[in-house]
């Protein structure tokens, strides 16, 4: 039983740290409904609930699919050389 609680606590801390880093490094143009500082405070004060709210309500989704985003990164080899 102690192991289960340990796993739950570690998962909650990891999720909160991930949400905090994601919230703090997100550009202001992709933050919605509240200001960025308030979201960071919310994630710190309400660890798991704040992270869930951040991912559901605070972030705006990226535009386009992953395939469309990576299409612009692929440059033919002949154009890479100066």
And the tokens for 80? 């890479």
Residue 16 pLDDT grade (very low, low, confident, very high; cuts 50, 70, 90): very high
Q: What is the pLDDT of residues 27-69, one digit of tens each?
A: 888 898 899 999 999 999 999 999 999 999 998 877 655 555 5
- CA dist., res. 58 & res. 26, Å (int): 10
Q: What pLDDT is attached to residue 38?
A: 94
Q: Which of 56, 41, 47 has the alpha carbon at shortest distance from 14?
A: 47
How far the first Cα of the chain sits from its last, in Å, is 62
Length of the chain: 82
72 pLDDT higher than 60: no
C-alpha 63: how far from its chain's center? 15
């Amino acid at each position: 039983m102690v192991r289960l609680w340990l796993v739950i606590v570690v998962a909650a801390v990891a999720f909160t740290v991930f949400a905090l880093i994601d919230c703090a490094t997100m550009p202001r143009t992709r933050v919605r409904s509240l200001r960025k500082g308030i979201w960071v405070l919310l994630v710190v004060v309400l660890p798991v609930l704040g992270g869930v709210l951040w991912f559901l309500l605070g972030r705006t989704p990226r535009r386009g699919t992953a395939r469309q985003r990576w299409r612009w990164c692929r440059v033919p080899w002949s154009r890479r050389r100066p």
